[in-house]
Amino acid sequence: MAKRNPYAAREWLPHEKPMLPGSPSTPLHPMPKRLAFGLIGLLISLTGALSNALVTANLVNLQGTFGAWSNEIAWLPAVYVMGNISINL
């Protein structure tokens, strides 16, 4: 079986072509693959929200652990989010 060149030009179906030049195409995926994409997206959004909620909900406990004042510990959620943003760059 001959290997297909992944860099060769592809013939798109009319509904798969990009809307504007340079925009991504919308290839037709089977339903199980679409469901897998949706479940993975849901899992990623839940874990991201829960990690931020854990920091925000435990500010009082963290304040006692670090021996910090309330105005000092209020910076922790902002620092946590900024750290996550810079990791994605």
Task: With respect to residue 20, please indicate whether it lies within any of the assigned structural domains.
Answer: no
Count: domains in the chain: 1
Task: With respect to residue 79, please indicate whether it lies within any of the assigned structural domains.
Answer: yes
Structure confidence by residue, pLDDT tens digits, 60-86: 898 999 899 989 998 988 888 888 788
Structure confidence by residue, pLDDT tens digits, 4-15: 888 888 788 888
Task: With respect to residue 58, please indicate whether it lies within any of the assigned structural domains.
Answer: yes
Contact 62, 73 (CB under 8 A): yes
pTM: predicted TM-score of the whole model, two decimal places: 0.56
Contact 57, 73 (CB under 8 A): no
Task: With respect to residue 24, please indicate whether it lies within any of the assigned structural domains.
Answer: no
Contact 47, 40 (CB under 8 A): no
pLDDT, averaged across the chain:
87
Structure confidence by residue, pLDDT tens digits, 4-63: 888 888 788 888 888 888 888 888 899 999 999 999 999 998 988 888 888 889 898 989
What's the confidence (pLDDT) of residue 2? 66
Task: With respect to residue 81, please indicate whether it lies within any of the assigned structural domains.
Answer: yes
Among the listed residues 23, 79, 34, 27, the one whose alpha carbon sits nearest the alpha carbon of residue 52? 79
Q: Give the list of residues 6+ apart from residue 56 with CB closer than 8 angstroms, or none.
A: 77
